[in-house]
Structure 1
């Protein structure tokens, strides 16, 4: 990877870390490139069963590097659909939903603006209670445009989201958790995320991937298409080697041995 994002894979878990700690992992052109590269790399790895996304240093992600943006160095082409239906800035947030495996964000310190939209792309969000958060864009006279509106659908009550977007006010992860914007609170978010990741990695990877596809169908499909997708996924899984191993391992009270 580049000098902004690192990936380490062990036991089916991809440990993805933002490593621009001196700038609180703020988003500059190199960080955008690093995140997009990380997503593309993970898409091609069959040995990955779950991803944990976190930031080194004092923050998860402080949002856009405003100095870089002010100098005209962003290089972002907002009208360009460079990644399917998304531009680059959107893809670094929405691309995590396109991965075939669950993504867990471990959040601490600060998650502002683009940083908050980045964590919104995760399937599960674990945060330190005191984490400072904000949907910050209207503070700068802008709108959230890194996929936030698409990612927030169904995540929290719309009136709460509207207030947070319109006011750009700061809130804590402890406040965000009952709103649905944070899944779990933890004193050590990364350790807690890894615990969840290990549990997911111990399940039939083909079943977990099928569930992720079904959640994607739920986001955009109608009832008929969702029901059909459920049946199709189940038919593929029933009697498959990993499904049989799930049953046998549970009956023998041992850890299953799956094939990716």
Structure 2
């Protein structure tokens, strides 16, 4: 396997473990993350020995989501020239590329089992929504937080979570940007099970992945393909729509205010402009 900056990849007994390792604080998702994730899953998809994937994270937290310090520059041309087609088109391309990175997880030919500990925010929720099965430690906390910084979530949560947690729960999370704990996440079926700590969550994910890998690989792949078939078109259409929507309507005073408030560690003051 290739050496990666934002991940480690280990394969043992037909199970690949893909682990987020940063390099940003809290495994924040910077340029290395978005570039490397689809390449990793392409390599795993091309390896016939891989029958299941465990998606994990190093450290106290799964992911703080998008690395605004590193990726915020992608918003600046859009904000500075909000009436021009060029910056909008380039931003649209960036969003589609990021969507494709997470879709590579959802489209994995083998099942993906996620183990979550600590914070799982924004892009972190996008990522685990692309997994097939999710386990969480008791200290895990989840947030579809994009609305709090003036962004419509556009990497997959709004498209994949309805089938996982239902429309009502998703609307509550996406409209409010509220945080929920692991117990609430289990109650709404965002996670399959809550266990005591991060080590136990990872062990549960590995155990399930090994159980999957022990079954006939083509049958497992067939089950996944059949289950994914019904919603694949709906998800793809939704991703196309939100990428175009954000390229058209994302530039706003509220977006500037939301990002500024994050860096200044203060509550935002949104005006609807």
Q: 1:103 to 1:74 in 2, by over 3 A?
A: farther
**Cα distance between partner residues in 2 of 1:59 and 1:25:** 7
State the match for 1:209 in structure 2: 221
* Deviation sequence 1:105-135 (CA, Å, 0-9, x none): 1000110011111111000000112211100
Of 167, 172, 175, which aligns to 1:166? 175
**Cα distance between partner residues in 2 of 1:148 and 1:74:** 24
Q: Secondary structure at the match of 2:164?
A: coil
8 Å CA contact retained: 2:136, 2:201 = yes
State the match for 1:46 in structure 2: 48
Out of 152-161 and 68-77, give the one that drifted further: 68-77
Instruction: Compute the displacement of 1:155 (Å).
Output: 1.0
**Cα distance between partner residues in 2 of 1:198 and 1:155:** 23
Q: Secondary structure at the match of 2:50?
A: coil
Q: 1:24 to 1:57 in 2, by over 3 A?
A: same
Q: 1:92 to 1:174 in 2, by over 3 A?
A: farther
Q: How do 1:35-114 and structure 2 match up within 5 A? A: 35-72=37-74, 77-80=90-93, 87-114=96-123
* Pair 1:148 & 2:160 matched: no
In structure 1, stretches of 5+ residues that fail to align are 223-260
8 Å CA contact retained: 1:94, 1:121 = yes
* Pair 1:193 & 2:193 matched: no
* Pair 1:10 & 2:23 matched: no
Tell me how many residue pairs correspond in the alignment. Answer: 218
Q: 1:106 to 1:22 in 2, by over 3 A?
A: same
8 Å CA contact retained: 1:97, 1:121 = yes
**TM-score after normalising by structure 1:** 0.78
Structure with the largest fraction of helix: 2
State the match for 1:29 in structure 2: 31
8 Å CA contact retained: 2:5, 2:23 = no
**Cα distance between partner residues in 2 of 1:219 and 1:48:** 25
Q: 1:74 to 1:110 in 2, by over 3 A?
A: farther
State the match for 2:144 in structure 1: 135
8 Å CA contact retained: 1:25, 1:60 = yes
Q: Secondary structure at the match of 1:87?
A: helix
**Cα distance between partner residues in 1 of 2:187 and 2:218:** 32
Q: 1:58 to 1:162 in 2, by over 3 A?
A: same
In structure 2, stretches of 5+ residues that fail to align are 78-88, 235-273
Q: 1:12 to 1:195 in 2, by over 3 A?
A: same
8 Å CA contact retained: 1:92, 1:118 = no
